[in-house]
Copies of this chain bind each other. A is one copy, B any other.
Amino acid sequence: MPHHPTIAPAACALRPSVFASLASQLRTLERPPIPLHLGDAYRAPPEAARLERAAARLPANGYAYANPVGLEPLRDAVAARCAEDGLPGLTRDHVHVNVGATGAIQTALATWLQPGDEVLVCAPFWPLVKGMVLALGAVPVEVPFYARLRRGETVAAVLAPHVTPRTVALYVTSPNNPCGTVLTADQMQDLADFAIARSLWVVADEAYHHYVWSPHQHQFLAALPGMATRTATVFTASKSYALAGVRIGFLCGDPAWLDAARRVATHTVYNVPLVCQLSALGAIETGAPWIAETRALYEQARDLVVQRLDAPFDLPMGGAYVFADLGADLGDKPMLEFLSDLLRDGVSLSPGDAFGRDFRTWVRICYTSAPLADLATGINRLNGALERLRRSATATLGRPRTGTNG
């Protein structure tokens, strides 16, 4: 109980956002860079999601408080769409409308965790989850996960050494942000077996489930036997329908705990704006062709980066990112210095250490946040910067390049 002016240790533990250290430089640039650092979408959302339309559809009491658990037609539409997508059995009682996937994940963790609890965080991971666990006074345990699974190791072999009596929950994301791994049905089954055997809650961050590249397929974790009661399935209009700014995410789970989660959310934000919920409803009602079209465009974008990028990475099976290791070329150059140089070249990327402590030499490249031509220019500039690093290293040290594409 430190008093004013000391703030809570858990709040102190939060780091500035991923890109904060470069943000001041970003503001001084004459022209904005090609923005490949944030998980945004260059595509306009579906017409039926436009906010002008949502505003025009507001009921007479549309400026009053709304149902804090979410609009019933929206929760019904989410449940119906989930059944089509491979997660059957949901009703409106299993769906809570939240402030983006961010709000949904924070709500689930705040419902389950008490201070000192440990959470297995499969790495690399979506950056905010680590801070969320810390802010609750709990302990995020980073587990190098996706690369080891790609190398054929089993879920149990990778996770088991990190479990303690204090381990109560696990955070997994598939398709993964940042590395694009899509877990196979067998791996998801292994994960389910593990969670059940260890009595774990699971956040299944499936924000990118609509964006999986052939021949891979998404398996909802909660659809596996025994998982419906222990899984928070999270996805979001932000990623499915390019509506990040509208802040509508979905927390789906068993009413046995979701009812408590609803109360946590009510005590955090009360309700989510009705106009935003109507936007998301318009997207879900009409958005299937839009998703198909967008999926094709994003897969082209993935292919473009995969074909051009001159640095090692694992092939993305889904999602919106290529996660690449620049370690071989960076040498002693600090990552932030490299990214700062790259900003001057007109490209912004996210530094890898936001995604896990083992990724200091990595960068995340978003391939959905700029049109194809800009993306190509961005990758060319990145390649140019890497080439300069190599030439300079060869000139001064005679050091040959190492590393191969994955």
Using CB atoms and an 8 Å cutoff, list the residues of chain A in contact with chain B.
1-5, 7-12, 14-17, 38-41, 44-45, 50-52, 54-56, 58, 61-66, 68, 99-100, 102-103, 106, 110-117, 128, 131-132, 135, 137, 165-166, 168, 199-201, 229-230, 242-247, 256-257, 260-261, 263-264, 266-276
Contact = CB atoms under 8 A, between A and B. Distances in A.
Contacts of A41: 63-64
Contact of A5 (B9, B15, B50, B256): B256
A45 to B, nearest CB: 5
A245 B274 contact: yes
28 contacts: A1-B117, A3-B168, A3-B200, A3-B201, A4-B201, A5-B256, A7-B260, A8-B114, A11-B111, A11-B112, A14-B266, A14-B267, A50-B55, A51-B58, A55-B275, A64-B245, A65-B244, A99-B270, A102-B268, A106-B269, A115-B115, A131-B263, A132-B267, A135-B264, A246-B275, A247-B271, A273-B273, A273-B276
A242 to B, nearest CB: 6
A256 B64 CA distance: 34
A169 to B, nearest CB: 8
Contact of A275 (B267, B268, B276): B276
Contact of A137 (B9, B39, B65, B137): B137
Give 7 nearest A-B pairs by CB, closest first: A51-B55, A3-B199, A99-B269, A14-B263, A52-B55, A102-B270, A131-B267
Given A8-B113, A137-B137, A267-B131, A45 B63 contact: yes
A96 B9 CA distance: 21
A165 B1 contact: yes
A137 B112 contact: no
A275 B100 CA distance: 15
A248 to B, nearest CB: 9
A150 B117 CA distance: 46
